[in-house]
């Protein structure tokens, strides 16, 4: 009888160990690291035009490799338009009849990039829009630098 109890205990213990070992085989992400090169901007384009009151304008471009995109609103002006006026400046991707916004700022013109970011090679767009500050159409200049 005692021997039988021992056997039973052993079998139960073995089962417990095996069931515990039957845990989720959830795959884990590989630990190897892949280095992604971040290229510096090598191409610069100018996007200039006239922004109507309450209007939106955007400009599309294609980046060739993963790297930094810099967007600078360099100038806003025109009759009845103060040089310090704030407008919306955004970086995104063309979608429908507009440019979706991944990053956006409300900014006045300046000499340093108001938007900067690292992006994979693809088609992107810069977008300027009046946020209600314009009382007359404004001329604007944007430079975009990308790899």
Partner 1 sequence: MRRSLFLLVPLALVVACGDQIPTSPNEATTTSLSVVFEGRLEVGGSAFYSFTVQESGSLTATLSSVSLVGRYEALNLPLRIGVGVPRGESCTITQTAEVYPSLTRQFSAVLEPGIRCIAVTDTGLLPGAAIFSIRFVHS
Residues of the shown chain interacting with partner 1 in the complex, contacts defined by CB under 8 A: 4, 7-8, 10-11, 14-15, 18-19, 21-22, 25, 27, 47, 49, 57-62, 93-97, 122-123, 125
Residue 120: CB minimum distance to partner 1, A: 12
Nearer to partner 1 by C-beta: 7 or 80? 7
Q: Is 118 helix (H, G, I), strand (E, B) or coil?
A: strand
Q: Could you tell me which of 87, 88, 99, 23 has the C-alpha nearest to residue 59? A: 99
Question: Which CA distances in Å does 18 have to 5, 12, 38, 72, 142?
Answer: 20, 10, 48, 63, 66
Q: What is the nearest approach in angstroms of partner 1 to the Cβ of residue 96?
A: 6
- Closest approach of Cβ 47 to partner 1, in Å? 8
Which two structure tokens, joined as six digits, stand for 78?
Answer: 């025109």
Of 23 and 37, nearer to partner 1 (C-beta) is 23
Minimum CB separation of residue 94 from partner 1 in Å reads 3
State the pairing for strand pair 138-146/98-107: unpaired
List, in order, residues 6 or more apart from 139 with CB less than 8 Å away.
48, 49, 50, 51, 75, 76, 77, 78, 81
Give 7 or 135: the residue with its C-beta nearer to partner 1.
7
Min dist. Cβ of residue 114 to partner 1 (A): 20
Token reading at 11: 């079998």
The alpha carbon of residue 50 and the mean position of all alpha carbons in its chain are separated, in whole angstroms, by 26
C-beta closer to partner 1: residue 30 or 33: 30
Comparison of 8 and 106: residue with beta carbon closer to partner 1: 8
């Amino acid at each position: 009888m005692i021997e039988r109890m021992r056997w039973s205990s052993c079998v139960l213990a073995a089962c417990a160990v095996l069931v515990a070992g039957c845990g989720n085989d959830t795959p884990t992400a590989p630990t190897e690291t892949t280095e992604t090169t971040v290229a510096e901007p090598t191409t610069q384009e100018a996007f200039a035009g006239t922004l109507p009151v309450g209007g939106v304008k955007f400009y599309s471009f294609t980046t060739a490799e993963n790297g930094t995109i810099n967007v600078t609103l360099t100038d806003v002006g025109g009759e009845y338009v103060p040089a310090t006026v704030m407008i919306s400046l955004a970086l995104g991707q063309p979608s429908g009849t507009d440019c979706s916004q991944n990053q956006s700022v409300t900014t006045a013109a300046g000499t340093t990039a108001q938007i900067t970011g690292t992006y994979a090679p693809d088609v992107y767009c810069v977008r300027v829009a009046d946020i209600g500050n314009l009382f007359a159409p404004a001329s604007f200049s944007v430079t975009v630098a990308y790899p």
